[in-house]
Amino acid sequence: MSNQDAPGLTTAIVNADWVVAYDPATQGHSYIRNGTVVFRDDTIIHVGKGYEGTVDTVIDGTDVMVMPGLLDLHLHAYQEIHGKGFFEDLASKHMWMTQLFEYTWLIEEDEASAEAAMQASAADLLKSGCTTMAELYCSQKLPFDNWLNILAGTGIRTYACPMVNSGHWYTPDGQNHLYAWDEAKGLKDLEGALELIDEAQAHSSGRLHGMVGAAQVDTCTEELFVACKQAAVDRGIPLQTHASQSVMEFREMIRRHRKTPLEWLDDIGVLGPQTLIGHAINIDQHPWINHHEHRDLERLARSGASVVHCPRAFAQWGDMMHSLGSYRAAGINMALGTDCYPHDMIEEMRIAGLLSKVASGHVDLLRTEHVFEIATLGAARALGRDDLGRLSPGARADIVLVDLKHPSMRPVRDPLRSLVYSGVAAAVRDVYVNGVLTVHNREILTMDQDEVHDRLQAGQDRSLPRVPGLDWAGRSADKINPLCLPVDGEL
């Protein structure tokens, strides 16, 4: 199927060793050997064995796998990366199975470092073959001025998701968690968030989209959730929230409503095909929870909601989904996210696959093709998009070229297995987003990455001295989490 007569610049990637093509018959991916992919401007017009139309640019696909861009549907790009080198090996000592939530807000970005962090995160994603991200920010104001234009300037396709809440939780002593509420402010903040979402939808880049965000299941009232859901329905866009992400949250919702977090969301009408649940790890059947009923998977599957799984972040906290393969087998649409850092979708796919095997005890319950499908077609379904996550005529030209001669990919028998279980981001050679080349020969074209990281380093350097003023006990960063080795022989 081709459209050879439409005007525009046409690019053909010819004689690619492997093409990961969408197969309408199976509604999944399939391999084409020695294939050709052609796109005109921002749209794929041909995927197959050859092309007879006129082209403006020809790219030799020898020793290349051509695949669709990956999608990262849950990350806090502007914020979390500041904690690199601080959050690892850190856990709340007296807040049982809360991961590191006691320390999450201690590394506080400023406007300059937030911009650098978001740019750095987008660059890392692009260089790992990711062409779409959902950027969730959970503060009550924009992290920096001109947020949408800076997002557009990174070159990646972005779903801007300003998250609102009715309150926030805090700890006064490192043991108890309390909530501070301002319900009227949450509803007011939603008005501003929707203005920003509408601005993203209308952005001239054509790569910005909106997503409604209700911050967490335990920090939003029913009224705010219902308003968020209605706003998403009115605009025909997704809604995302965090739910079942910790034991603390699960027990709080049981205390308030005598319902699991997902049960409560289902009962108030929030679950549905347009809803994305960030994490959904600590559900009723998780061994840390062991609730008397095991019905959360059934609720998710029946509702049509999608789960965005961020395996690496939770593995760092000693937790894991039980299991990704089991969720998928239950009929739940799954997607992946990187959440905190690193923002590397190849690594995220690998960890997702490995932890699913460990958690389920079954090597083949979640196979390579399933992990790749989750990172592409599953994510696109979660967004309600049939033009992302696939190489197919009519799809967006979000295209990734993987160097099959990179050492991590060789020897090549099955290129996706090599990529998911052995490959590294450096194997990604070129990346197109909406038909625009954003990574070429492994170099990001939309920004000076070294300069961005210099600004990010300066931002972390400014943030660390502020930690005592944010910590409930007034501790320094070095007191909370010392360097992992002595410096200059000091003990």
Domain boundary among 444, 459, 475: 444
Residue 204, C-beta contacts closer than 8 angstroms, at least 6 positions apart: none
- Tell whether 220 is covered by a domain: yes
In angstroms, rounded to a whole number, what is the distance separating the alpha carbons of residues 120 and 444?
Answer: 11
Q: 4 pLDDT exceeds 60? A: no
Per-residue pLDDT tens digits for 187-198: 999 999 999 999
Q: How many CB atoms lie within 10 A of CB 176?
A: 10
414 in Cβ contact with 421 (< 8 Å): no
Cα 100 from Cα 215, distance rounded (Å): 18
Examine the pLDDT at 435 and tell me if it is beyond 60.
yes
Q: Work out the average pLDDT over 34-54.
A: 96
Asked if residue 127 has pLDDT above 90, the reply is yes
Statement to judge: residues 302 and 360 lie in one domain: yes
Of 3-12, 59-68, 320-329, give the lowest mean pLDDT range: 3-12
Domain total in the chain: 2
Within 174-323, residue ranges assigned H as helices are 183-201, 222-235, 247-257, 261-267, 296-303, 311-316
Q: Are residues 285 and 414 in the same domain?
A: no
In the predicted model, what is the mean pLDDT of the chain?
A: 94
Least confident of 137-151, 211-225, 317-331, 372-386: 137-151
- Looking at the fold, whether 318 and 439 belong to one and the same domain comes out as no
Q: Is the pLDDT of residue 476 over 50?
A: yes
Tell me, what CATH number does 435's domain have?
2.30.40.10
Q: Pick from 133, 116, 115, 130: which is nearest to 207 by CA?
A: 133
What is the DSSP code (8-state) at residue 165? Answer: -
**Are 273 and 411 members of one domain?**
no
| Pair (121, 143) in one structural domain | yes
Beta-strand pair 208-210/212-216: unpaired
The domain in which residue 342 lies consists of 70-382
φ, ψ dihedrals at 409, nearest 5° = -100, -10
pLDDT at residue number 488:
87
What is the pLDDT, as a whole number, of residue 121?
97
Question: Taking the CB of residue 37, how many other CB atoms lie within 10 A of it?
Answer: 30
Residue 25 has pLDDT above 60, yes or no: yes
pLDDT at residue 97 in the model: 56
pLDDT band at 403 (very low <50, low <70, confident <90, very high): very high
Residues 244 and 330 in one domain: yes
Mean pLDDT of 342-364: 97
Mean pLDDT of 175-187: 92
Distance CA 107, CA 477 (A): 9
Instruction: Give which of 270, 349, 277, 330 is closest to 306, Cα–Cα.
Output: 277
User: How would you classify the pairing of strands 167-170 and 178-181?
Assistant: antiparallel
Task: State residue 145's pLDDT score.
Answer: 80
> Do 314 and 178 fall into the same domain?
yes
Residue 49 and residue 35: Cα distance in Å, rounded?
Answer: 5
- Residue 346 sits in the same domain as residue 281: yes
Model-level pTM?
A: 0.96
Instruction: Report d(CA 474, CA 86) in Å as an integer.
Output: 16
Name the nearest CA neighbour of 344 among 320, 317, 310, 389: 310
- Give 114's pLDDT tier (boundaries 50, 70, 90): very high
For residue 263, the model assigns a pLDDT of: 98
Whether 144 has a pLDDT exceeding 80, the answer reads: no
User: What is the pLDDT averaged over residues 200-208?
Assistant: 96
490: in domain:
no
For 149-171, b where at least 16 C-beta lie within 10 A, e where not — what string? ebbbebbbbbbbbbbbbbbbbeb
Would the pLDDT of 354 be above 90? yes
Residue 449 lies in a domain: no
The full 3-state SS of 195-227, as one line of letters, equals HHHHHHHCCCCCCEEECEEEEECCCCCHHHHHH
Same domain, 229 and 184: yes
Q: Residue 165: pLDDT band by 50, 70, 90 thresholds?
A: very high
Confidence (pLDDT) at 223: 98
How confident is the model over 401-405, as a mean pLDDT? 98
pLDDT for the residue 139: 64
5 occurs within a structural domain = no
> Which one is predicted more confidently, 308 or 248?
308
Q: What is the pLDDT of residues 69-108, one digit of tens each?
A: 999 999 998 888 888 999 999 888 776 556 667 788 888 8
